[in-house]
Amino acid sequence: MTFRGTAATVAAIVVLFTVADTVLYRLLGDHAQILYRGSVRVTWLAVVMIATAAVAARFRWWGDYIGRVWTLLFVEYFCLTASETIRRFVTSLSPIGRGAVVIGNLAGIAAFWLLARSLHAAGLRYTGSRSMKLGFFAIAAVLTAVLVLEPSIREVRRLLAGTGELDRAVSVLADLVTFILVAPLLLTALSFRGGRLFGVYALLTAGTIGWMINQGSGSLLTFLGMTGATRAGQMFGFAMACACIAGAAYVQGKGAGSEVVHA
């Protein structure tokens, strides 16, 4: 399947899921909704975990630059799957779940840092003019500030005051770093335009944007007076993030190859 075919499939899955999820959720009773919310989120995270594990194994896990990226993404989504399962269904193991959140988010930061510097590691430069690059970084910085700066400051203050939780603080700080890194990730995708790696980086960028939508849709829809659509917006972003990252793993595994750098 070509990149366009993969992207179209991912888009269709996300839209159809969001519609079906919205309809089904409203038909369920309160107890069933609780079980359903947890099951859906764990399933999506598990799909990404399996996809990233498969492509990491293909690139010898830690033995290759791209392999290290996918190994770190696998660790992230393994930990997120475990923490979500514990939070929803095995609350007696909550300390383990909180530890998994910390490890997963740190692995995610490391993975996106490697992705963001892959061109530099290969001795290449971003495509486009300096003003375009600055524009991308400025947009990413503004969006990041709007979405997670205030929660990040709040959680760090709570942690320093002894009233916060480490996993929550690490989670919002990981969002802050990852959202800023969407700029170099997008520039990397554009630099590979026309090449085999474009699809991988484009889908990873779209996945990060999906997490942005998941994070910010609640506040935006509430501001617009569309409180009833909050869950649909969040689940759309969540599904978009998971489907795009799994799609990127599929494109990578289908033959994009480790053509960035061996380091």
**Predicted confidence (pLDDT) at residue 260 exceeds the cutoff of 70:** no
Cβ neighbours of 21 (radius 10 Å): 19
**Predicted confidence (pLDDT) at residue 256 exceeds the cutoff of 70:** no
Query: What confidence category does residue 112 fall into, taking pLDDT thresholds of 50, 70 and 90?
Result: confident
| DSSP three-state, residue 164 | coil
Q: Are 62 and 68 in contact (CB under 8 A)?
A: yes
* pLDDT tens-digit readout, 147-203: 777 667 777 788 777 776 777 778 777 877 877 778 877 787 877 777 778 888 889
The pLDDT score that the predictor gives to residue 41 is 93
Instruction: Choose the weakest-confidence range: 30-34, 106-110, 118-122, 227-231.
Output: 118-122
What distance in Å separates the CA atoms of residue 81 and residue 195, rounded to the nearest whole number? 33
* pLDDT tens-digit readout, 209-221: 888 888 777 666 6
What distance in Å separates the CA atoms of residue 76 and residue 111, rounded to the nearest whole number? 9
Task: Tell me the average pLDDT of the chain.
Answer: 82
Residue type, 258: S
Query: What confidence category does residue 1 fall into, taking pLDDT thresholds of 50, 70 and 90?
Result: low
Q: Regarding predicted confidence, which is higher, 44 or 119?
A: 44
What is the pTM assigned to this prediction?
0.83
**Predicted confidence (pLDDT) at residue 65 exceeds the cutoff of 60:** yes
The two three-digit tokens of residue 234, written as one number? 């969040």
The pLDDT score that the predictor gives to residue 240 is 93
What distance in Å separates the CA atoms of residue 129 and residue 111, rounded to the nearest whole number? 26
* pLDDT tens-digit readout, 17-43: 999 999 998 898 888 988 998 899 999
Q: Regarding predicted confidence, which is higher, 262 or 220?
A: 220
* pLDDT tens-digit readout, 69-102: 999 999 999 999 999 999 888 888 889 998 998 9
Instruction: Choose the weakest-confidence range: 23-32, 117-126, 133-142, 209-218.
Output: 117-126
Element (H, E) at 152: helix 150-160
Cβ neighbours of 63 (radius 10 Å): 11
**Predicted confidence (pLDDT) at residue 261 exceeds the cutoff of 50:** no
Q: Are 251 and 228 in contact (CB under 8 A)?
A: no
The two three-digit tokens of residue 183, written as one number? 């700029």
